[in-house]
Amino acid sequence: MGPSVLSAWLQSRYRKNVYLFIYYLIQFCGHSWIFTNMMVRFFSFGKDSMVDTFYAIGLVMRICQSISLLELVHIYVGIESNHLFPRFLQLMERVIILFGVITSQEEVQEKYVVCVLFIFWNLLDMVRYTYSMLSVIGTSYTILTWLSQTLWMPVYPLCVLAEGMYFTYSHLYMERRDVLRVFSIKKKM
Catalytic annotation, residues: 156, 163
Q: Please state whether 138 falls in left (phi above 0), alpha (psi between -120 and 50) or beta.
A: left
Q: Please state whether 166 falls in left (phi above 0), alpha (psi between -120 and 50) or beta.
A: alpha
* Cβ atoms of residues 24 and 132 within 8 Å: yes
Distance CA(111)–CA(102), nearest Å, equals: 10
- What stretches of 46-111 show up as alpha helix (H) in DSSP? 48-51, 53-68, 70-77, 84-95
**H or E element, residue 181:** helix 152-188
